[in-house]
Amino acid sequence: MGNERTESQEHLGKSVSATATDTLPRCWAEIDLGAIRANAQAATRASRCGVIGIIKANAYGLGAVEVGKALQNTVEMFGVANVMEALELRKARIRTPILILGTCQPTERPLVVRNRFVPCISSLTEARAWSALTQQMDTPCLDVHVAVDTGMGRAGFPLAEWTPKTIRALQMLKNIRIDGLCSHFPSADEDPEFTLRQIQRFSEVSALGLSLGLNPAKVHLGNSAGALGFPELQEVSNFVRPGLMLYGVSPLAEMQHALRPVLSWKTRIILIRDLPNGHGVSYGRTLITRKPTRVATLAVGYADGFPRNLSGQSASVLIRGQRCPILGRITMDQTMVDVTDLPAKVGDETVLIGKQGREEILISEVAQKAGTIPWEILTRLSARVQRFHKES
């Protein structure tokens, strides 16, 4: 190639912040950081609350450090799943406060205290352990968020244990400051009646604490579905915890218009072959051609995170602005598609998720056809899918 640049390379040079090389990527994700910021702002507008940006699981597969740096002046706090995720952000010199949503193991607690992370606590036993540790380490007061289980059944003080006695015991602990009170929705995208009852329960939880002098700075309950679909949240909380919506996917289909797309997942045609009528395609020969068919092989498979369950589900990809059906079973490293009606060429850019011309494949469409949820589609993107982050 020398110093010559193809049309695709020029496109990447304009839209993607990546080191220029002579080798085009085989399978890659383009991530719009400006769109992520816009979606965080949409969460604020919809809920009229502050934002704790959820960037756990490597920012849902899109790059926690890059997303964290892009959001650190837009959100007031980050939420991660565990200590290791929090440490990754700190090592990248991201100084935004970090809330650890999952329960910390005893061996992890010194790291939390030393780095001034904010743990969630679900019991008096936990709270007392944090208090004892901070005194033992002779450190300043540790901020914690108290979780109360209003219906999720995963963590938090059970409602029956959220009593004046419990609250007073928490308030008496040394070196512990209750900076937050929180709970979590299990079905805000599926069961609005239960969600409204849960909001009422959380209101009672908060009111009981307030009556006893517990007045945390951050009160939060709503996830993405809560932020987008339940204006009642602003009456019981002052923060929301958007995750999925930051990455351009609304868990409520009717609110998709409020968000900007973030992810474009692409690959290339690496081989084109003409198969005769009656020829099998891929493992198991689940697809037998019914006419002469031009078959393109793509450089993507389930090892990249492209769901094998899309096989046989009338799923398609975009090539030259047109939908091309997936043929047979998706394999570990390659996927075959029908390009009989296209002037397709080896090297053509192929869109798995995103827009090309007037056509678009949404993450939610891929999830539906694969029989799963958008969260899984995002987080299963494998390490060999190159990530290119851009500003829009």
Q: Averaged over 121-149, what is the pLDDT?
A: 96
Closest among 168, 231, 111 to 98, alpha carbons compared: 111
193 and 59, same structural domain? Answer: yes
Same domain? For 161 and 296 the reply is: no
Query: What pLDDT, on a 0 to 100 scale, did the predictor assign at position 86?
Result: 98
Count of the separate structural domains present in the chain: 2
pLDDT for 277-317, tens place per residue? 999 999 999 999 999 999 999 999 999 999 999 999 999 99
**Is position 322 within any domain?**
yes
98 and 146 part of one domain:
yes
Say if residue 71 is in the same domain as residue 143.
Answer: yes
pLDDT of res. 23:
73
Of 182, 217, 251, which residue sits at a domain end?
A: 251
Same domain? For 160 and 228 the reply is yes
Q: Is 283 a catalytic residue?
A: yes
Question: Exactly one of 14, 91, 247, 283 is catalytic; which is it?
Answer: 283
- Say yes or no: 183 and 287 in one domain: no
- Is residue 347 scored above 70 in pLDDT? yes
Query: Is residue 350 in a domain?
Result: yes
Q: Does residue 16 carry a pLDDT above 70?
A: no
Domain boundary among 207, 228, 251: 251
pLDDT tens for residues 221-255? 999 999 999 999 999 999 999 999 999 999 999 99
Whether 41 maps to a domain, the answer reads no
Specify the CATH number for the domain of residue 351.
2.40.37.10
Active site residue 355: no
338 and 296 within one domain? yes
So what's the pLDDT on residue 12? Answer: 36
Q: 129 with 178, same domain?
A: yes
Is 37 contained in some domain? no
Q: What is the CATH number of the domain that holds 168?
A: 3.20.20.10
Percent of the chain with pLDDT over 70: 94
Q: Is residue 36 part of a domain?
A: no
Q: Residues 56, 218, 266, 369: which is the catalytic one? A: 56
Mean pLDDT of 137-157: 96
In a domain? residue 287? yes
Report residue 21's pLDDT band, with 50, 70 and 90 as the boundaries.
very low
Q: How far apart are CA 392 and CA 372, in angstroms?
A: 30
Question: Same domain, yes or no, for 216 and 352?
Answer: no
- Residue 155: is its pLDDT beyond 80? yes
User: Residue 381 belongs to what domain range?
Assistant: 7-30+261-390
Tell me, yes or no, whether 361 and 326 share the same domain: yes
Residue 101 lies in a domain: yes
pLDDT at 106: 97
pLDDT given at position 78? 98
Q: For residue 268, what are the CA distances in angstroms to 46, 255, 265, 346, 348?
A: 38, 32, 11, 8, 5
Q: Are residues 244 and 303 in the same domain?
A: no
In a domain, 311, yes or no: yes
Domain end marker among 228, 251, 274: 251
Same domain, 103 and 220: yes
